Chains A and B, each alone.
Chain A
Amino acid sequence: MEIYGFGIVAICMYIGSFIGMTLGKVLGISGNVGGVGFAMLMLVVFTNYRESKGKPLSERTQNGIRLLSALYIPIIVAMAANQNVVAAFEGGAVAFLAGGVATIGAILLVPVISKLTAGKNDVEKDLGGKRA
């Protein structure tokens, strides 16, 4: 059933957040260190495991998860409508330069890092991923 999909994502979220918060405590900072990332990883591992066993989630369970991901863009739009855009404009030159240059510089570095570390993957792609 569709609600099972909701439940699977929810349990991944709770376990992931638990790991993230525990990690935060161990590291001595308050908050959730990569909790969402752990949760996503868990969902990937779980669904890939089921598929490798030849027992993928039922169509309706998948639909539940798909509904949530379909809501993602509208949620991002709502999130954008939630930002303190006025503060961003009023932060003055420092905020604009610090935030702006950090962003543009980081984006421009993307291909450099990709090339630096991903050369091997291109070879794997050429070989049909056999070496992966």
Chain B
Amino acid sequence: MKKWVAGVTAMTALVLAGCEAGDVENQTGDEGSVKLGSMFELTGAVSAYGNAEANAVSLAIDEINEEGGIDGKTIELFEYDTKSEDTEAASVATKLATQDGVSAIIGPATSGATKSAIPSVNRAEVPLVSPSATDDTVTIDGNGDVQPFAYRIGFQDSFQGVSLAKFAETELDAQTAIILGDNSSDYATGLSATFKENFSGEVVGEENFTADESDFSAVLTRIKNEDFDVLFVPGYYEQAGLIIKQAREMGIEQPILGPDGFGNDTLIDLAGAGNVSDVYYTSHFSVNSEDPKVQGFIESYEETYGSEPDMFSALAYDAVFVVKQAIEEAGDNAPTAVNDALAELSDFEGITGAFSFDENHNPIKSVTIVELQDGEEVNTTEVSPK
């Protein structure tokens, strides 16, 4: 008996799935509204980034709709969760591109999920704009050709390494540097490679740790005995916070440089505000900017979500406006027309800076390097591309 119940349930589910598929028709090019897709890591390992970005996307779309939409058409948002799983990202991207018939997709937050979604959008020919996939290989395929339908808003990892090296030489007068990174992380190995290449001084030491370590005293003692000017920590805030705390408590007084992975308030909580001095990190965005646009964004984000936006929210917010500008320039919301306009996009003015896309669909923008003293942002320096 129970076997039958299970069987019938499964069959009904299958039949229903089939029916639903039949009901959905391809509505691309529909007059009256513009469909946009949002796919982020709302649950799972990297949901902190995903939620920050998904919030900013819906905020931006609400704002656009209040002001009359894109060319008089309101935006209809389709929002999905990728569960922080790569296969789910591929599946959701296909759903957005084929079933929901969106003009463009915004997301996902991480490089891995973005790479998994790209084959799906290439087949469906719908552009995808990732706010924060920073891995160098995201927008180019294995042969070095550009991925025709993938774009990103954040600068890529190698550029961070270049700017940090430049910054260390010119602003901090550093002659020697030590790199302390996680060699099992792609992010860290990429960053240290470009830093080494571009730093004209000498890298006197390279030390490693693994992602789940929390005691760095052994490696820091070794570093303390070296003679160096700056310490470069290519990693995320979870480890960097603890490294800063232990280094400062041990008496390592040299400036500490970090990538955009430092950009989370947890860094200061972990390290203790008093220890976070002479810390510099690359950021896509600074909350202290005088730009009225930035202040307006911070205000409305705080009003809606009750917390201060971070750079991930800012990038996602810009991603929506990049797509808006592309649709306006194309004068059409068919995905391929939007894609052509995105490739040609120039002089976009956003809250993370003004930029155009280069031939590899990467933004040409300047890097903001934030200086932290006693846990507070005191100064920002712009490092522009070569």
Say if A and B assemble together.
Answer: no
- A residues within 8 Å of B by Cβ? none
- B residues within 8 Å of A by Cβ? none
